Amino acid sequence: MDVVERLWTRATAEAPLPPGVLAGAAVVALLVVATPALWRPARTVVTIAHEGAHGLAALAAGRRLSGIRLHSDTSGLTVSRGRPTGPGMVLTCAAGYPGPALFGLGAAALLATGHAAGVLWAVLALLALLLLQIRNFYGLWAVLVTGAVVAGVTAWLPPAGQAAFAAAVTWFLLLAAPRTVLELQRARRRRTAPDSDADQLARLTGLPALGWVGLFLLLDAGALALAGSWLLLP
């Protein structure tokens, strides 16, 4: 019980972030997203969030989650069992691209209330749940490495360092989400992604795939704007 209490105390500790640190973390995240050499390896983190969102949506819709795969080309696959059509399948399929932005929005809510440590512990908890569903070696490696980095930050960095890292992760998810939607549309325009989430949703709902791409982009941009107002505006 003492260990649980200590962990809970650390996870719920408050550490308000100065505006300068929040702005600096945003700049760092933007550089990662905008620099090809940095974006390529960092994009795996977005794929983890994307596939995790598919998995959570599948469970929320009452579907049975069969497994998640992450690939070295930064693609992924989440398999669930249930009706092949209907609202549950639509929700599951639609959750991927807004997922990273919504995770970032939740993290921003914690940061805005001074619970930066809570962001890191929430990430660790979600990664642990995801690990149970990983079905390939690369996915296992990616989740374990990501979890090890976050665990190392919580174990060895002082509270100020943890808060700055949590802010950078939050901004990265918020800024990366719109870029992945633009990449999706670029792949669709080149006809290299015929079975993308947007195309599957078009077949499920009748709404054109471009409409789904626009909806994804709108949700991601809205999450970024809302989180920015929480973190940067007085």
Q: Is the pLDDT of residue 179 over 90?
A: yes
Distance CA 147, CA 124 (A): 6
CA 202 → CA 21, 140, 207, distances in Å?
42, 31, 5
Per-residue model confidence (pLDDT) at position 13: 73
Residues of the domain holding 76? 16-232
Q: What is the mean pLDDT of residues 118-147?
A: 96
**Residue 89 domain-assigned?**
yes
DSSP for residue 113: T
Angle at 199 between CA 196 and CA 205, to 5 degrees: 135
% residues pLDDT > 70 (the chain): 96
CB atoms < 10 A from the CB of 149, how many?
13
> Burial level of 24, CB count in 10 A (0-12/13-18/19+)?
middle
Number of H helices, E strands in the chain: 10, 2
Within a domain: 27 = yes
As a whole number, mean pLDDT of residues 45-73 equals: 97
Q: Quick check: 97 pLDDT over 80?
A: yes
| The total number of structural domains that make up the chain | 1
- Whole-number Å distance between alpha carbons of 22 and 39: 21
Query: Residue 19: which pLDDT band, with cuts at 50, 70 and 90?
Result: confident
Kindly tell me the burial class for residue 76, based on how many C-beta atoms sit within 10 Å of its own C-beta (0-12, 13-18, 19 or more). Answer: buried
Report yes or no on 10 lying in a domain: no
Is residue 6 in some structural domain? no
Q: Is residue 3 situated within a structural domain? A: no
Residue 14 confidence (pLDDT): 77
Residue 67 in contact with residue 33, Cβ under 8 Å? no
* Residue 5 falls inside a structural domain: no
pLDDT of residue 9: 72
Residues 197-215: tens digit of each pLDDT: 999 999 999 999 999 999 9
Please say if the pLDDT value at position 171 is more than 90. Answer: yes
Q: Residue 136 — pLDDT band, cuts 50, 70, 90?
A: very high
Domain annotation covers residue 2: no
Examine residue 120 and state whether it is found in any structural domain, yes or no. yes
Q: Residue 29 — pLDDT band, cuts 50, 70, 90? A: very high
Q: What's the pLDDT score for residue 8?
A: 66
**3-state SS record for 190-224:** CCCCCCCHHHHHHHHHCCCHHHHHHHHHHHHHHHH
